[in-house]
């Protein structure tokens, strides 16, 4: 297991400064999602080549069911580029939130199709068009289920795996403990059912603070991940209470202890 953290949480004005901070705190990787992805690919490669910190994952744009076809097309093109970049940087793949919002953005075409049915079909079609790029890169596009208060299309791991199963092995899922704490009746059982479809993990406590500041017991879920053979990144994605560096160090130590004990 390795510990990663989301780029937007990392102090520093430049990516090299951020990687140096991660090295000082003893973390392993960074999840790229904002300013760093605007850098030229050759500059990104050089920065990571000069640091022991890894690129854990890259973020895609959540526009594959956007009402505007131009936005959907631009989102697919960006995702293809980032899949290629993920391969160059040695990242797991590209993280994709299927959509944001508690209601469909597309119109209801009942009785032909409801808005939700239409969005599901479009989403599958979009994933099918992106799967060849993931296969060529040798890196999956993986879906992040979000809780019902943030999204409606994919809330639980089983919903994510259902989309992945329709498309093929180049589409996988990730597991986020904060969202699972809201949506899954049994986190460990859901992880076991998803099995090797899970290629990335986010960790935050029950209150969206850093692990150790809420009431979420990570150990059953960690044990289930181990049973499925998962030994990848735990990506810290949360708000932080307390002095920042100290809070991240404490949380990282806790996560390593809980993983070892699971």
What HEC string does 40-99 produce?
Answer: CHHHHHHHHHCCCCEEEEEECCCCCCCCCHHHHHHHHHHHHHHHHHHHHHCCCCEEECCC
Q: Is 184 a catalytic residue?
A: no
Q: Is 144 a catalytic residue?
A: yes
φ, ψ at 81 (rounded to 5°)? -60, -40
**Residue from 144, 183, 184, 246 carrying the catalytic annotation:** 144
Residue 12 has a pLDDT of: 95
Contact 145/183 with Cβ under 8 angstroms? yes
Can you tell me the distance from the alpha carbon of 175 to that of 177, in angstroms, rounded to the nearest whole number? 6
* Domain encompassing residue 240: 2-107+116-261
CATH number for the domain including 19?
3.20.20.150
- Domains of the chain: total: 1
Residue 247 has a pLDDT of: 96
Residue 102 has a pLDDT of: 81
Residue 3 has a pLDDT of: 98
Strands (DSSP E) found in 64-218: 94-96, 141-143, 171-176, 198-203
Parts of the chain with a pLDDT under 70 = none
pLDDT in tens, 184-241: 999 999 999 999 999 999 999 999 999 999 999 999 999 999 999 999 999 999 999 9
């Amino acid at each position: 297991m390795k510990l990663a953290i989301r780029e937007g949480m990392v102090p520093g004005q430049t990516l090299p400064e951020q990687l140096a901070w991660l090295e000082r705190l003893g973390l392993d990787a960074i999840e790229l999602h904002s300013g760093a992805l605007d850098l030229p690919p050759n500059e990104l490669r050089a920065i990571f080549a000069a640091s022991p910190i890894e690129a854990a994952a890259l973020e895609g744009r959540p526009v594959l069911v956007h009402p505007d076809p131009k936005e959907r097309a631009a989102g697919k093109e960006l995702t293809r580029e980032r899949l290629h970049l993920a391969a160059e940087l040695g990242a797991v793949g590209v993280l994709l939130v299927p959509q944001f919002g508690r209601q469909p953005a597309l119109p209801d075409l009942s009785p032909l199709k409801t808005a939700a049915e239409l969005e599901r079909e479009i989403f599958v079609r979009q994933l099918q068009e992106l799967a060849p790029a993931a296969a060529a890169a040798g890196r999956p596009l993986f879906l992040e289920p979000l809780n019902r208060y943030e999204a409606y299309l994919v809330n639980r791991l089983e919903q994510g795996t259902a989309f992945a199963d329709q498309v093929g092995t180049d589409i996988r899922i990730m597991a986020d403990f904060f969202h699972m704490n809201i949506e899954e009746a049994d986190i460990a059982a859901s992880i076991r059912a998803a099995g090797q479809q899970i290629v990335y993990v986010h960790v935050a406590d029950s209150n969206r603070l850093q692990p150790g500041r809420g009431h979420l017991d990570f150990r059953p879920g960690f044990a289930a991940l181990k049973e499925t053979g998962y030994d990848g990144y735990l990506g810290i994605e949360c708000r932080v209470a307390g002095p920042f560096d100290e809070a991240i160090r404490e949380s990282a130590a806790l996560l390593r202890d809980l993983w070892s004990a699971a």
